[in-house]
Amino acid sequence: MGDFNSSSMEDDDMAAPLFERQLRKNYVQRAVDITILLLMISLLSYRLVSIRSHGGDGWEVKTWQVAMGCEAWFTFVWVLVVSTKWNLLRYLTFPQRLLQRKRELPALDMFVTTADPELEPPIIMVNTVLSLMAVDYPGTAHKLAVYVSDDACSPLTFFALSEAAKFAQLWVPFCRKHNIQVRAPFRYFSPTAERPPSASGGSKSPEFQQEWKHIKNEYESLNWKIEDARKKPVSSILSAGEFAAFANMDRGNHPPIVKIIWENKETEPDGLPHLIYISREKRPKHHHHYKAGAMNALIRVSGVMTNAPFMLNVDCDMYTHNPQIVLHALCLLLDPRSQNDTGYVQCPQQFYDGLKDDPFGNQLVVLQEIIGQGIVSIQGPFYGGTGCFHRRRVIYGALPKNVDSKKKNARSMDEISLSEFGSSEQFLKLVTRALKDESGTEKDLPSSLEAALHVASSGYEYGTSWGKKIGLTYGSTTEDIFTGMKIQSKGWRSAYCSLDPPAFLGCAPTGGPASLNQMKRWSTGLLEILVSKSNPIRATLLGRLQFRQCLTYIWVLIWNIRSIPELIYALLPAYCIITNSHFLPKNFAGPRTGYNDTSIRICHIQHLHAIGALQVQLISSSMVELPADGQNQLGLCLVVWCPNRPAQGAGDL
Ligand SMILES: O=c1ccn([C@@H]2O[C@H](COP(=O)(O)OP(=O)(O)O[C@H]3O[C@H](CO)[C@@H](O)[C@H](O)[C@H]3O)[C@@H](O)[C@H]2O)c(=O)[nH]1
Ligand SMILES: [Mn+2]
């Protein structure tokens, strides 16, 4: 059963394991991958050996060398890919076993971030919130809290949430009673979406039909109210007291707002989770650090209000598609084998209503299925920014137990100085508890509001380690990958929770400039990590990032750079035709084949076409995220190219 911490060993720890690891058999794939690698190495050796004999004039020497440089780079990238996908691992989780245990389920704080009511329509965010409020957490729903961070400080968002809290009083009991599987109402009531009948089998009963109609009408009315509120002045949609908080707000320059929209006062086990609205303070003189800054404010505010030991974060457009997700994720976090070494659990990012065949690669299929499952078997998946369950103490900078004591350069738990967390006394008290893996607060929600406002202020992080050693890491637009790598470089592993039906479903850009912008932002952020002081090579040499994990991080961080050799390689055939030079062996068909000059040239051009087509593949793969496939094509092309050539002599290949 792996390592146990004897102090936490209780009867139920001895029970059946909460998860199993399953290795996928991929011997054929491995054989193909290695063959491709060997072919690439043979090609490189051939290039090297014949660099002089295929020199020709000055220009030709250069094309041969450029081709060799590009191919050497492709080989290096292929090594990174093969290392990542060598073992493909999946986790199987058993939530029923978790529910049978004697121990109570832990508290969970769930975070939703939103930044712009124009680009991220409030109704979509509301659906995400409703799906989170309705997750299955039998007998323990009062331990759940949903926090929404609004970086736009929008009264519309606040209004939408207040209305959603009213609708939730109907929606959540309805979902629980009929065991509805799709708990985001816009998907459940969508005429096009596949809607499984209620699992209780009562979908046809008149009682269910009546309830269904009633809830649908209420949802439509919620939709209409939010849509209508868009067009109205703020003063008419909010009550006088609420309006005062939002009056004359400038989204880039305003004080913090924390509002408890719904509180489960009776701590009813089957009640609704708390719902809290936060708009952290923004001032022009303080950098707000985008989503990472919003997440850190959420972590601190939840730290003083509920202080749950686990936190889930989702983007505002990623609703919970599997109501059992929390139970599945907790199987991976609470099992005795993972308690001391699993820092976070990541669910794959999956999307609804994607374009057929995913022409822009927005669904990240290769990244999820090939690289995703591969990295799971090394040190665990990247933190993907959404659909991720964190341990609070890991985010607070704690080290795993039983860490490699030779690498003590990462600070140990004892070295954490509380002053690095800021100046709120109430928060610091609760940080100490969280670091000891204790949860909860002494105060109720309203009496912790003052401290919540303090930790949500824009100057709170000044002189602290937030964004450096604590919380989500600043300095890259892909704060998720950066933060995950920092956690793993402390020695933590991460686990992957891939479910059917998918845990979360989001909305991917459909293409065009939105897609390009997103990819530009991601690739820039990844490059920022590569050139930062905390790059994976340093994290491996000085920290506890595993070597093969480092290779995978390098593969993802060089996403941007990979396009350069691919573009050059793609331009080579055209360049060679224009300058009448070559980067493939000149006597391609060879005089002994009996071809005349024209046929040799045609043959040459045909091969250039084949390679050109491959290069288009490579370029498009680099742009639309199909790296593994692109590389396979290169290998296949090599296979086709090599045997077709009549042998000229041993030195030819
Ligand atoms: O100043 C900001 C900017 C963004 N967000 C929120 O951050 C989330 C992600 O932003 P989005 O613009 O949708 O970025 P995507 O590229 O779609 O998101 C992916 O990439 C991001 C950067 O790597 C990750 O943070 C996300 O979790 C991941 O889904 C959304 O909920 C936003 O509302 C904020 O709260 N404040
Ligand atoms: Mn998004």
Beta strands 144-150 and 108-114 are parallel
Residue labelled with tokens 């009213």: 166
Shared domain for 211 and 271, answered yes or no, is yes
Burial of 236 (0-12, 13-18, 19+ CB in 10 A): exposed
How do residues 208-233 score in pLDDT, each as one tens digit?
999 999 999 999 999 999 999 988 88
In a domain, 188, yes or no: yes
Distance CA 173, CA 177 (A): 6
Residue 610 reports pLDDT greater than 60: no
* Among the listed residues 397, 439, 443, the one whose alpha carbon sits nearest the alpha carbon of residue 418: 397
How do residues 239-261 score in pLDDT, each as one tens digit?
777 778 888 889 999 999 999 99
Task: Identify the helix (H) or strand (E) that includes residue 45.
Answer: helix 27-49
Tell me which residue has its CA closest to atom 23 in ligand 1.
478
Model's pTM, two decimal places?
Answer: 0.88
CB 543 within 8 A of CB 490: yes
Alpha-helical regions (H) of 490-579: 512-530, 536-541, 547-557, 559-579
Structure tokens at 129: 């919130």
The pLDDT-based confidence of 572 (bands split at 50, 70, 90) is: very high
CB 72 within 8 A of CB 48: no
Distance CA 213, CA 235 (A): 32
Mutate to test the pocket of ligand 1, among 110, 111, 113, 557 (most ligand atoms within 8 A of CB): 113
Q: Which amino acid is at 421?
A: F
Backbone dihedral angles phi then psi of residue 12, each to the nearest 5 degrees: -70, -15
The DSSP call for residue 189 is: S
The DSSP call for residue 355 is: P
Q: What is the dihedral of CA 213, 216, 218, 223, to 10 degrees?
A: -160
**Per-residue pLDDT averaged across 610-626, rounded?**
45
Shared domain for 76 and 120, answered yes or no, is no
Tell me the pLDDT of the chain averaged across its residues. Answer: 85
In a domain, 433, yes or no: yes
- In the reported structure, the alpha carbon of residue 530 is separated from the centroid of ligand 1 by a whole-number distance in angstroms of 20
Shared domain for 133 and 181, answered yes or no, is yes
151 appears as a binding residue in the annotation? yes
Which has the minimum average pLDDT: 102-106, 275-279, 502-506, 568-572? 102-106
The pLDDT score that the predictor gives to residue 367 is 80
Which has the minimum average pLDDT: 117-126, 245-254, 288-297, 453-462? 245-254
- In the reported structure, the alpha carbon of residue 518 is separated from the centroid of ligand 1 by a whole-number distance in angstroms of 10
Burial of 382 (0-12, 13-18, 19+ CB in 10 A): buried
Shared domain for 471 and 594, answered yes or no, is no
Strands of the sheet with 350-351, listed across from one edge: 319-320, 504-506, 350-351
In a domain, 210, yes or no: yes
Task: Identify the helix (H) or strand (E) that includes residue 84.
Answer: helix 58-85
The pLDDT score that the predictor gives to residue 225 is 95
Beta strands 504-506 and 319-320 are antiparallel
Which has the minimum average pLDDT: 12-16, 408-412, 444-448? 408-412
Choosing from 151, 335, 341, 358, which is the catalytic residue? Answer: 151
Shared domain for 498 and 568, answered yes or no, is no
* Among the listed residues 15, 264, 302, 297, the one whose alpha carbon sits nearest the alpha carbon of residue 137: 264
Choosing from 136, 317, 335, 480, which is the catalytic residue? Answer: 480
Structure tokens at 334: 């609470």
CB 364 within 8 A of CB 349: yes
Burial of 213 (0-12, 13-18, 19+ CB in 10 A): exposed
Structure tokens at 101: 């245990």
Shared domain for 307 and 420, answered yes or no, is yes
Shared domain for 140 and 253, answered yes or no, is yes
Q: Angle at CA 495, nearest 5°, toward 489 and 497?
A: 150
CATH number of the CATH domain containing 280 = 3.90.550.10
- CB-CB neighbours of 645 under 10 Å: 17
If one counts the domains in the chain, the total is 2
Which has the minimum average pLDDT: 14-18, 267-271, 346-350, 481-485? 267-271
* Distance of alpha carbon 294 from the chain centroid: 17
Structure tokens at 414: 């004892």
Shared domain for 452 and 484, answered yes or no, is yes
**Per-residue pLDDT averaged across 486-513, rounded?**
92
Distance CA 608, CA 597 (A): 16
| 506 Cα nearest atom in ligand 1 | 29
How do residues 39-73 score in pLDDT, each as one tens digit?
999 999 999 988 877 665 666 668 889 999 999 99
Q: Diameter of the chain by CA atoms?
A: 93
Burial of 471 (0-12, 13-18, 19+ CB in 10 A): buried
Shared domain for 300 and 399, answered yes or no, is yes
The pLDDT-based confidence of 203 (bands split at 50, 70, 90) is: low
The pLDDT score that the predictor gives to residue 633 is 40
228 classed as catalytic: no
Which of 441, 475, 509 is a domain's end point? 509
Distance CA 44, CA 640 (A): 16
Cis-peptide, bond into residue 501, ω within 30° of zero? yes
Tell me which residue has its CA closest to atom 28 in ligand 1.
385
The pLDDT-based confidence of 198 (bands split at 50, 70, 90) is: low
N-to-C CA span, the chain: 52
Residue 193 reports pLDDT greater than 70: no
Residue 389 reports pLDDT greater than 50: yes
In a domain, 538, yes or no: no
The pLDDT score that the predictor gives to residue 616 is 47
Shared domain for 455 and 568, answered yes or no, is no
CB 209 within 8 A of CB 116: no
- In the reported structure, the alpha carbon of residue 508 is separated from the centroid of ligand 2 by a whole-number distance in angstroms of 7
In a domain, 549, yes or no: no
The pLDDT score that the predictor gives to residue 51 is 81
How far, CA to CA in Å, does 636 sit from each of 35, 602, 642? 10, 22, 10
Burial of 526 (0-12, 13-18, 19+ CB in 10 A): buried
CB 34 within 8 A of CB 78: no
Shared domain for 428 and 573, answered yes or no, is no
The pLDDT-based confidence of 533 (bands split at 50, 70, 90) is: very high
Residue 648 reports pLDDT greater than 50: no
The pLDDT-based confidence of 415 (bands split at 50, 70, 90) is: low
Distance CA 73, CA 340 (A): 39
In a domain, 546, yes or no: no
Structure tokens at 66: 């450029």
Residue 494 reports pLDDT greater than 60: yes
Distance CA 611, CA 608 (A): 5
Which has the minimum average pLDDT: 126-140, 345-359, 525-539? 345-359
Task: Identify the helix (H) or strand (E) that includes residue 144.
Answer: strand 144-150
In a domain, 548, yes or no: no
How do residues 280-329 score in pLDDT, each as one tens digit?
999 999 999 999 999 999 999 999 999 999 999 999 999 999 999 999 99
151 classed as catalytic: yes
b/e sequence 536-567, b meaning 16+ C-beta within 10 Å: beebbeebbbbebbbbbbbbbbbbbbbbebbe
In a domain, 3, yes or no: no
The pLDDT-based confidence of 140 (bands split at 50, 70, 90) is: confident
**Per-residue pLDDT averaged across 258-281, rounded?**
90
Q: Angle at CA 420, nearest 5°, toward 150 and 448?
A: 50
Distance CA 84, CA 284 (A): 43
**Per-residue pLDDT averaged across 171-178, rounded?**
94
- In the reported structure, the alpha carbon of residue 310 is separated from the centroid of ligand 2 by a whole-number distance in angstroms of 23
Residue 606 reports pLDDT greater than 90: no
Distance CA 183, CA 174 (A): 10
Percent pLDDT > 90 in the chain is 64
Percent pLDDT > 70 in the chain is 82
The pLDDT-based confidence of 600 (bands split at 50, 70, 90) is: very low
The DSSP call for residue 491 is: T
> Which residues form ligand 1's pocket by a CB distance below 6 Å?
113-115, 120, 149, 151, 290-291, 294, 315-316, 385-386, 478, 480, 518, 525
Tell me which residue has its CA closest to atom 34 in ligand 1.
291
Shared domain for 218 and 73, answered yes or no, is no
Residue 120 reports pLDDT greater than 60: yes
Domain holding 209, by residue range, is 101-509
| 386 Cα nearest atom in ligand 1 | 27
Mutate to test the pocket of ligand 1, among 157, 291, 382 (most ligand atoms within 8 A of CB): 291
> Going along 274-382, which residue ranges are E strands?
274-279, 310-315, 319-320, 342-346, 350-351
SS3 assignment for 206-222: HHHHHHHHHHHHHHHHH
Which has the minimum average pLDDT: 67-76, 395-404, 442-451, 488-497? 395-404
| 288 Cα nearest atom in ligand 1 | 1
